[in-house]
């Protein structure tokens, strides 16, 4: 049975939501070490949880054979976090507008919208091995 | 996330604590909400005072409870919405959906 593995500023988890809390503890711990304020920590933690959820459920289709890797880096006041899955990627432009009246009461479909609202930048890249989403946020 | 519940003047008050981020934790709130709906207890207040933050999964659970209760002539209201969750409700426009009160007492009284 695979388990979360931590190496430096990277945590790798099997594709199961039961490991979301492991990722959160890892990320929040590092952010506190950087001296981030609690509001910034929450914004980043929410965004990471959204993207890891997506990577597990949509990217890796919850396959126990596939992993999700989360890496965090700091450059000056800028925090970058990359979430890498082994899936086929997605087109964010194909996601319905969560603010449209007809979508307001849908239970899902807000994740990427929330991440874009909370983070300074969101960059999506794909190659044959999977999809990487990098988010950045400046420490205030 | 941990979850406790109680009843106040015939109104169910659910008290989640911690973070609502999906996976097994989030299903706790979902299952408890539906447990009360099945018992025909359809006046529900969710006290968010001890929720550090929630993501879109948490918002989805609130919406699911709101629509299910509304469709069975019940109501779900929020109390003690923290600044972080209020911000999420605002950017997602869900602030226009949920009735929210500053305290649980005010939310419970609003059912009368």
pLDDT tens digits, B79-93: 999 999 999 999 999
- The whole-number pLDDT of residue B33 equals 85
* Among candidates A45, A99, A114 on the partner chain, residue whose Cβ is nearest the Cβ of B56: A114
Write the ipTM.
Answer: 0.92
The 10 Å Cβ neighbour count of residue A20 is 24
B25 in contact with A, Cβ within 8 Å: yes
Residues B97, A105: C-beta atoms closer than 8 Å: yes
Give the pLDDT confidence score for residue A25 in this predicted structure: 97
- Are B48 and B85 within 8 A, CB to CB? yes
Which residues in chain B touch residue A102, judged by CB atoms under 8 angstroms apart? none
Q: Is A67 helix (H, G, I), strand (E, B) or coil?
A: strand
The predicted pLDDT at position A127 comes to 84
pLDDT band of B110, cuts 50, 70, 90: very high
Does A111 contact B at CB distance below 8 Å?
A: yes
Taking CA atoms, B31 is separated from A8, B25, B26, B28, B64, in Å, by: 38, 10, 9, 5, 11
| Distance in angstroms (rounded) separating the CA atoms of residues A90 and B41 | 41
Mean local confidence (pLDDT), A95-110: 93
Ranges of each domain in chain A: 5-138
Cβ contact (<8 Å) for A17 and B24? yes
pLDDT of residue B37: 87
- The verdict on A104 touching B (C-beta cutoff 8 Å) is yes
pLDDT value of residue A41: 97
> Is the confidence at residue A22, as pLDDT, over 80?
yes
Nearest to B56 among A16, A39, A111 (CB): A111
A 7-66 → B contacts, CB under 8 A: 16-18, 20-21, 24, 39, 42, 45-46, 49-50, 53
- Judged by DSSP in three states, B111 sits in coil
Q: Does B41 touch chain A (CB under 8 A)?
A: no
Residue A2: per-residue pLDDT: 83
Q: Is A107 on the interface with B (CB under 8 A)?
A: yes
Contact B57, A53 (CB under 8 A): yes
* A46 CB-near residues (< 8 Å, 6+ apart): A114, A118, B21, B53, B54, B55, B88
CATH of region B2-109: 3.30.750.24
pLDDT at A89 over 80: no
Helix H or strand E encompassing A88? none
Q: What is the mean pLDDT of residues B65-89?
A: 95
Is residue A119's pLDDT more than 80?
yes
Give residue B28's pLDDT: 85
Compute the mean pLDDT over every residue in chain B, rounded to the nearest whole number. Answer: 93
Q: Please check whether residue A130 is in contact with residue A70, taking contact to mean a CB–CB distance below 8 angstroms.
A: no
- Tell me, what's the pLDDT at A114? 97
> For A29-45, what is each residue's pLDDT tens digit?
999 999 999 999 999 99
Could you say which architecture CATH assigns to the domain A5-138?
Answer: 2-Layer Sandwich (3.30)
Mean pLDDT of the residues in chain A = 94
pLDDT at A95: 85
Query: Does A78 score more than 80 pLDDT?
Result: yes
Q: Answer for the pair B44, B77: CB distance below 8 angstroms, yes or no.
A: yes
For B62, nearest residue in chain A (alpha carbons): A107
Q: Where are the domains of chain B?
A: 2-109
3-state secondary structure at position A7? strand
Q: In whole angstroms, what is the distance from residue A134 CA to residue B30 CA?
A: 31
pLDDT at residue A71 tops 80: yes
């Amino acid at each position: 049975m695979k388990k979360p593995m931590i190496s430096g500023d990277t945590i790798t988890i099997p594709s199961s939501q039961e490991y979301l809390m492991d990722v959160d503890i890892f990320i929040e711990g590092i952010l506190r070490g950087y001296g981030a304020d609690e509001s910034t920590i929450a914004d980043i933690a929410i965004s990471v949880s959204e993207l890891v959820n997506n990577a597990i459920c949509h990217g890796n289709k919850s396959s126990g054979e596939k992993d999700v890797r989360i890496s965090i880096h700091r450059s000056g006041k800028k925090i970058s976090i990359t979430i890498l899955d082994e899936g086929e990627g997605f087109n964010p432009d194909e996601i319905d507008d969560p603010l449209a009246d007809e979508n307001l009461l849908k239970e899902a479909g807000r994740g990427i919208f929330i991440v874009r609202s909370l983070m300074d930048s969101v960059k999506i890249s794909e190659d044959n091995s999977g999809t990487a989403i990098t988010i950045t946020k400046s420490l205030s | 996330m941990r979850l406790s519940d109680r009843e106040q003047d015939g109104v169910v008050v659910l008290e989640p604590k911690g973070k609502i981020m999906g996976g097994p934790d989030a299903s706790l709130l979902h299952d408890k909400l539906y447990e009360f709906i099945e018992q025909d207890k359809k006046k529900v207040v969710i006290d968010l005072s001890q929720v550090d933050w929630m993501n879109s999964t948490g918002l989805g659970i609130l919406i699911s409870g709101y629509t299910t209760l509304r469709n069975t002539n019940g109501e779900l209201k929020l109390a003690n919405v923290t600044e972080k969750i209020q911000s999420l409700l605002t950017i997602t426009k869900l602030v226009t959906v949920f009735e929210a009160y500053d305290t649980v007492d005010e939310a419970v009284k609003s059912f009368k």
